[in-house]
Amino acid sequence: MAASGSNQLSTPSKTPHSRKHHLHHHSSSSSSSRFEAYNRLQAAAVAFGEKLPIPEIVAIGGQSDGKSSLLEALLGFRFNVREVEMGTRRPLILQMVHDPTALEPRCRFQEEDSEEYGSPVLSGPAIADVIKLRTEALLKITKAAVSAKPLVMRAEYAHCPNLTIIDTPGFVLKAKKGEPENTPDEILSMVKSLASPPHRILLFLQQSSVEWCSSLWLDAIREIDPTFRRTVIVVSKFDNRLKEFTDRWEVDRYLSASGYLGENCRPYFVALPKDRSTVSNDEFRRQISHVDSEILGHLRDGVNGGFDEEKFGTHIGFSSLRDFLESELQKRYKDAAPATLALLEQRCSEVGIELARMDSKIEATSDVAHLRRSAMLYAASLSNHLRSLIDGAADPAPEQWGKTTQEEQSESGLGSWPGVAVNIRPPNASLKLYGGAAFERVMHEFRCAAYSIECPPVSREKVANILLAHAGRGGNKGVVEASAEIARSAARSWLAPLLDTACDRLAFVLGNLFDIALERNHFRELEYGKRNGNMEGYVGFHAALRRAYNQFIRNLTQQSKQLIRHHLDSVTSPYSEVCYETDFHGGFGSSSLKFGQASTSVPFCLELSNGGGLCRNNEEKRDQENIPPEKSNAQETTPGKGGGETREGLKESQMTVPETPSPDMPCEVVKKEHGNYVELGPRKRISRLNGNGRNHELVRLQNGDSRLLVFGNNGDTGTRAGSSAYSDICSYAAQHFARMREVLLERSVTSTLNSGFLTPCRDELVVTLGLELFAATDDKFMEMFVAPGAIDVLTNERQSLQKRQKTLQSCLTEFKTISQTL
C-alpha cells in the first residue's frame, strides 16, 4: 500500500479536534451527498449497462482468505455470506449507506435489468437465500458456470460506513463437484476483467499463514497492477501469526514486507472474531472491537520491545482499515466529480441523439417514400464501394480484411485444384488480399494449375479401339484423328472440373467483398460525417440486401461456368481445327509437326511476398516437353531411339499378302522382305479386310509407314513395331492436349472470366440490386422494414431510452449541485 505519490492511495488523517463543528458538519454533509449521488449513478450504470468510470473498491481473494468475514464486519452485521460463497458465481455490489435512523439493517436488492430496488429484506438467512437464488437463475439462463453480471444490494444501517465494495467470487484451485473443470480459470479471468479498469481500487486479502514468496494469487494481482499503486493489501487472520513473534525486529520485519511488496507498499493487518455462533449485531460489533484491542495489546506487551507503532500503528486492526477505505473512497469521489460531470453531460447528449434517431425510425415506418429513397441511396453507395474494391483499394486494412491463398482455399471449402498433384503456390500467396487483387491472384493460380496438367496415360486397348475404327473408314489421317480424339476426351475430363473450381474460387473472392464494402461505407460515413441513407438498425433490409448480392454472385458464377464450358466444348469438338493449326498438316509420317509455343503474352507476375521478385509464368517450359523436336530433313526419329537411325516407307511391292488361309488354320505369319512379320487373323477377318482390291493396305500404317497395326504383348518383331506406334500416338495426343489447353486459356477463359464476373459487378450490380429490392409494391417493400411486432419493439426501445435519459439527466442535475459545493 503506497504511502506517497499524488496518484497513489493516501492514508487519511484525523480531523483535528480544534476544527469548528459547523465545518465538520458541512464536510460530512457534502461527503454524504457525493456518496448518495455516486450510488444512484452506479445503480443506473448497472441497470442500463453504462460504462462509467465510477470510483469503486473491488474485493479480491482466495476461497478461504477471510473475504466474507471482512464484508460482514464492514456491514456491521452477519448475513451468512460465507455459507453461499461457493454457491455464488457472480459479483456482488454492496452499497453500504450510513443511515443514523436505521437501527436495524435494511437491505434491498436491485431488480435485474432495472434501476429499481425490491422490497426490504431484513433477516440474514433471507439475504443469503436471495443471493443464491438470483445467481442460480442467471446461470441457468446463460448456461455458464460463472457470470460477470453483478448483483446489487443496498444496505442501510446506522453502524455501517458510506462505502461501496464489489465482492468477487473467491479464487479456487479446483472446481467443485458438478461444475465444469475450467471454472477456476473462468473465475480468474472474470476477476481480472473486473479489476482492470484504472478507476477501481483493488482490495486484496491473503491470510497471514501464507508466506509472500509462496502466495498463489499475488502474481495475478501484480499482472493487473504491477506496482500496487491502486492496491490495498490486507493480511487477514493476523492473530494466527502473533504467537511466532518474540522480539521487536521480527515483528517489524514481517510488518514491512518490503522484500516482496516494495518500500511504498504498506499492508493492513486484520483479525476478526472466530466465533460463528449466533449473536446479536451489537455483540458482533463489540467482538470486532475487542479483537482489535487484543491485537494491539499483544504487539505492545507480548513482544520484547513492542513494535514500531509510529510506522505501523495506523495499519493494525479492522477499524484502521475501515476508516481508510471510507476516507479513500470519498477522496476518489471528490477528485472524480468534475470528470464524472463532464461524462454525464456527454452521455445525456448521446442518449438524446439516440432517442431522436429512434423517433425518426418510428415515424419512417409510415413514410414509404422516405424509406425507398434512403434504401436506394444506401444500395448505390454500397455498389460504388464494391466497384472501388474491385478496381483496387487499400481501405479498410487488407491485413485485417484480406485473405491469403491458403485461407481462401480453406474457408471456401474447395481445397486444392482437382486433378493437380503438385502444390500450386502463386506469387503473393502469403499476402492478405481482397477485391481485384485477390481476383487476379486466383486467375494466375488457375493458369498455373491448368498448365501443370498433362495429358494422362492412355491404355493400349483404348488406342487400338480408336485407331482401328478410324482405319476402317479409309483415308490417310487415321492416326491424326485417333490422337486428336484421345486428346479431346482427356481435355473434357481433366479441364472441366478445373474450370468449375476457378469459377467457384472467384465467386468466393467476390462474395467476401460485401462485408468489406459495408465496413468501408461505415468508415466513410464516420470520416466525412454524411450518411447515404440511414439504414442502421434495419435488420430485414440488410438481410435482403445481402441475399440479393449473394444471388447476383451465384448467377454470375452459373453463367460463367456455362460460357467457359461452351468454349471447352468448342475447342474439343471434332469439327474444331485447333489440333491442326500452325504447321500441323501432315499425317503420321509427316516430317513437319509443330505446335505454337506458349503465348508470349503471358503477363509478368510481381511477387511482393517475402523473398519474391519479378517472375514470368513457366508455361513455356512446361509445354516444351509436348513439342516434337525440329529436324533438318524429312525423316522422323523413332521415339525412344537415337536420332541417327531413320526409316523409310516401304513400297507396296515390298509387302507380300498371302492367300486366304484354310479354315483349319487359325492364323498365318507372312514374312516381309525387311524381316518384319504381321500376325493375321482367321479367314473370315481376312476376307472382310480384303473385300475390295485395295483394302489390303489397311494392314499397314498410312502414308507407306512400315510399322504394323499390332498392339499386343507377344514380344515378336511386329509387336515391337506396334509398341513404337503406341508411344508415338500417345506423344501426339499429348501435343494435341497441350494445344487445346493453350488455346482455351489464352484465347477464351481469361477474357470470359473477366467479362463474366468483373464487368457485371462494375456495370450491372446497382441495377440488379435495385430491381431485386425496389421493384415491388409498397406493402412488399415495407416487409423489409416493418416485420410483425417490429413497431412494438421500436416503441419499447424508445421507452427504455427515455427512461435512461431521465435517469442520467437526474444524475447530471445532482452532480451539478454537488460540484457547486466542492
pLDDT at position 243: 84
Checking if the pLDDT of 763 tops 50, the result is: yes
pLDDT at position 497: 92
Query: How much is the average pLDDT of 455-484?
Result: 74
The verdict on pTM exceeding 0.75 is: no
Query: How much is the average pLDDT of 785-810?
Result: 76
pLDDT at position 619: 42
CA separation for the pair 95, 228 (Å, rounded): 25
Checking if the pLDDT of 374 tops 60, the result is: yes
Upstream peptide bond of 396 is cis (omega within 30 degrees of 0): yes
Q: How many CB atoms lie within 10 A of CB 49?
A: 10
- What nine digits make up the cell of 307? 513494535
Q: Say which range, 7-11, 177-181, 249-253, has the weakest mean pLDDT.
A: 7-11
pLDDT at position 656: 39
∠ CA 84-89-94, rounded to 5°:
70
- pLDDT bracket for residue 722 (50, 70, 90): low
Dihedral (CA of 424, 429, 432, 437) sign = negative
Residues 6+ apart with CB under 8 A from 285: 76, 159
Q: How many CB atoms lie within 10 A of CB 357?
A: 14
User: Tens digit of pLDDT for each residue in 683-700?
Assistant: 333 333 333 333 333 333
- pLDDT bracket for residue 174 (50, 70, 90): confident
pLDDT at position 708: 39
- pLDDT bracket for residue 504 (50, 70, 90): very high
Q: Say which range, 148-162, 545-559, 783-797, has the weakest mean pLDDT.
A: 783-797
- pLDDT bracket for residue 93 (50, 70, 90): confident
Of 350, 362, 308, the residue nearest 50 (C-alpha): 350
- Residue 658 in contact with residue 680, Cβ under 8 Å? yes
pLDDT at position 654: 39
| DSSP of 418-460 | TT--S----TTTTS-B-HHHHHHHHHHHHHHHHHT--PPP--H
Stronger pLDDT, 336 or 232, i.e. the higher one: 232
pLDDT at position 821: 59
Angle between helices 765-774 and 368-391 (to 10 degrees): 160
CA separation for the pair 597, 742 (Å, rounded): 9
Share of the chain above pLDDT 90, in %: 16
| DSSP of 561-579 | HHHHHHHHHHHTSTT--GG
pLDDT at position 98: 82
Rg (CA), the chain: 45
Checking if the pLDDT of 313 tops 70, the result is: yes
pLDDT at position 652: 39
What is the spatial order of strands in the sheet that 163-167 belongs to?
106-109, 151-157, 92-98, 163-167, 56-61, 200-207, 231-236, 268-269
CA separation for the pair 12, 326 (Å, rounded): 9
- pLDDT bracket for residue 585 (50, 70, 90): very low
Checking if the pLDDT of 627 tops 50, the result is: no
Query: How much is the average pLDDT of 555-580?
Result: 86
CA separation for the pair 689, 662 (Å, rounded): 16
Residues 6+ apart with CB under 8 A from 405: 425, 426, 429, 430, 441, 445
User: Tens digit of pLDDT for each residue in 144-172?
Assistant: 878 888 888 888 888 888 888 888 888 88
Average pLDDT for the chain: 74
User: Tens digit of pLDDT for each residue in 208-264?
Assistant: 888 877 788 888 888 888 888 889 999 999 988 888 888 999 888 888 876 677 667
pLDDT at position 343: 82
Parallel/antiparallel/unpaired status of strands 200-207 and 56-61: parallel
User: Tens digit of pLDDT for each residue in 389-415?
Assistant: 999 888 888 898 999 998 998 899 888
- What nine digits make up the cell of 328? 479513500
